[in-house]
């Protein structure tokens, strides 16, 4: 059953990529987030992109807390290098856009918290 679910999620993700999915993208992402460890790397990367686009901006309440949640799940706890590198790219883009809105909070709650120990990072691509 688990393989069928993974295959179905990958098929839906492909439909989204081709802009042919007519369902609720948010609900699909909720499901992917619940099962992200079993999902393909590409599916998780699309989830991260969607979540960033929807929730990581100053106009959203608690957006920095949401960002730290994403960083914990998809940077600290994630093992797939591609997912971690993509999250770092999304973080970089967000920091460039929104640093002026909450500079101190972004630096202390995100940058230092998650990237303060890069010397101990074992993967060169992430480092």
**pLDDT higher than threshold 80 for residue 1:** no
Spatial CA neighbour of 92 closest among 69, 73, 114, 59 = 114
Please tell me the pTM assigned to this model.
0.89
Gap between the Cα atoms of 124 and 127, Å rounded:
5
For 53-66, write each residue's pLDDT tens digit: 999 999 999 999 99
Spell out the residues 6+ positions from residue 12 whose beta carbon is closer than 8 angstroms to its own. Answer: 21, 23, 28
Q: 3-state class of 51 per DSSP?
A: helix
Spell out the residues 6+ positions from residue 40 whose beta carbon is closer than 8 angstroms to its own. Answer: 6, 9, 10, 13
Q: How confident is the model at residue 20 (pLDDT cuts 50, 70, 90)?
A: very high
What are 79's two structure tokens? 């093992």
């Amino acid at each position: 059953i688990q393989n069928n679910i993974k295959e179905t999620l990958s098929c839906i993700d492909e439909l989204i990529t081709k802009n042919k999915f007519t369902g609720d993208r948010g609900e699909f992402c909720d499901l992917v987030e619940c099962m992200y460890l079993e999902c393909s790397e590409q599916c998780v990367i699309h989830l991260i992109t969607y979540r960033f686009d929807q929730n990581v901006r100053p106009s959203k309440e608690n957006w920095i807390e949401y960002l730290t949640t994403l960083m914990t799940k998809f940077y600290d706890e994630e093992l797939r290098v591609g997912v971690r590198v993509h999250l770092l790219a999304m973080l970089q883009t967000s920091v460039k856009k929104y640093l002026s809105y909450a500079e101190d909070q972004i630096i202390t709650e995100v940058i230092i918290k998650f990237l303060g120990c890069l010397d101990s990072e074992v993967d060169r691509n992430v480092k």
